[in-house]
Amino acid sequence: MENRSLFKKITGSREALLTFVLLVLGIFITVLNPTFFSPVNIGQIFRNNALTMIMALGMLCVMLTAGIDISITSTLAFAGMSIGMLTKYNIVNNTFLLFLIAMVIGCFCGMLNGLIISKGKVAPIICTMGFMYIWRGMAYVVGNSQFASGEDVREFAEFGKDGTIGPYIILIVCYALFFWMLKWTKFGRKIYAVGSNAEAARISGINVDNTLISVYTMMGTLAGLAGALSVSIYASAQPNMQYGREMDVIAACVIGGVSMSGGRGSVAGTFLGALIISIIAKALPLINVPSIAQNTVKGVIILFVVIFNVITQRMVDRQNLERREM
């Protein structure tokens, strides 16, 4: 009986399941390589995946409204290149100001997405696909075939270089902010409402369009922030930066239990999803699995998690039906 309820708890909530997976993973890795859980290693896991983790928060909100945004890494590149150029040519050198500019650019990009998706009734994937091309192209255009190297952004990179706590603080602040917003504010409720049943939300007086615009604007702002952070952490700004990594962000959310049809997902789950992907990337080489197998493992985990979910749901439905008296 005890066992069964534990099993139910684990399969019933995605967060519990992911924590369980993380624990097993942690024990497994530690047994094979006891050096894994050193503070340095763990710090690096967070630092190397800060971008994915931050953008996953925005993607969580977007997916809660049953949308998707695949333009984020292009926005990131556009914002990152913009501030890279600004600091390269010494137009702006203030770190805070550069962060702000990157976020404003991201905010603008996101707002455009939101406007077109809500007012123009365009499918999110198509709209953001268009902007994926536009902002990536703009990243090249602002750079004018140039890029910013470590020399160029030296001062700015001080913020994010190895050993500083800047990126960690940003990460913690973002997660705290979004946790609070989604759990304890009216606005957070609106996001869930729009994604769970847009028609009902409209009938109960929620402005669906505005909610969508805000959500995509937040996503863009976070992508802009991630752009600045990327320049700072990797000490370079290139127009092709983070190319194709939007799928990692989506994958983190999907593993974290965020439903693509909207209305289901949490900050905790998203965090755990992103963490699992990050740990696998870091751990594979340490347990003598060549790092080139990283993607395969990641893909298998995604499929495993989502299919496992479907199968348990089918079992639950079946049980409910069997309980019906006739």
Per CB under 8 A, contacts with other proteins among 233-252 are 239, 243-244, 247, 250-251
Neighbours of 44 (CB within 10 A): 14
- Residue 288 lies near other proteins (rule: CB under 8 A): no
Binding piece for other proteins, criterion CB under 8 A, among 25-33, 41-49, 158-166, 287-295: 287-295
Counting contacts by CB under 8 A, is residue 196 touching other proteins? Answer: yes
Site for other proteins in 139-168 (CB under 8 A): 139-141, 145
Residues within window 253-282 making contact with other proteins, judged by CB under 8 A: 254, 259-264
CB of 183 to other proteins, least distance (A): 7
Backbone φ and ψ of 84, nearest 5°: -60, -45
User: Hey, CA dihedral for 242, 244, 248, 249, is it positive or negative?
Assistant: positive
Q: What is the maximum span of the chain, computed from C-alpha positions, in angstroms?
A: 78
Subset of residues 33 to 62 that bind other proteins, contact rule: CB under 8 A: none
Residue among 7, 243, 26, 208 nearest 121 (CA): 208
- Give Rg (Cα) of the chain: 21
Query: What φ, ψ does residue 158 adopt, rounded to 5°?
Result: -55, -35
Instruction: State whether residue 153 is helix, strand or coil.
Output: coil
**Residue nearer to other proteins on the CB measure, 93 or 313:** 313
* 280 contact partners, CB below 8 Å, separation of at least 6: 25, 294, 297, 298, 301
Counting contacts by CB under 8 A, is residue 120 touching other proteins? yes
Taking CB under 8 A as the rule, does residue 216 contact other proteins?
Answer: no
Candidate list 6, 123, 165, 287; residue touching other proteins; CB under 8 A: 123
321 binds other proteins (CB under 8 A): yes
Q: Which of 125, 165, 169, 173 binds other proteins (CB under 8 A)?
A: 125
**Helix 95-119 to helix 124-143 angle, to the nearest 10 degrees?**
150
Considering the complex, state which of residue 135 and residue 175 has its C-beta at the smaller distance from other proteins.
135
The two tokens of residue 52 are 């994915």
Closest distance of CB 30 from other proteins, Å: 25
With a CB cutoff of 8 Å and minimum separation 6, the contacts of 301 are: 255, 276, 277, 280
Q: Are the CB atoms for 166 and 159 separated by under 8 Å?
A: yes
Q: Which is nearer to other proteins, 161 or 189 (CB)?
A: 189
For residue 80, the minimal CB distance to other proteins (Å) is: 15
Q: Which stretch binds other proteins (CB under 8 A): 15-23, 41-49, 195-203, 214-222?
A: 195-203
State how far the Cα of 67 lies from the Cα of 123, in Å rounded to an integer: 8
Q: Does 4 bind other proteins (CB under 8 A)?
A: no
Q: Is 324 in the site for other proteins (CB under 8 A)?
A: yes
CB atoms within 10 A of CB 270: 31
Collapse the DSSP code of 202 into the 3-class scheme (helix H, G, I; strand E, B; otherwise coil) and give the result: helix
With contacts defined by CB under 8 A, name the span among 50-58, 89-97, 148-156, 302-310 that binds other proteins: 302-310
Q: How far is the CB of 250 from other proteins (least distance, A)?
A: 6
Our finding on whether 208 is near other proteins (CB under 8 A) is no
Residue 129 near other proteins by CB under 8 A:
yes
Place of tokens 């700015």: 156
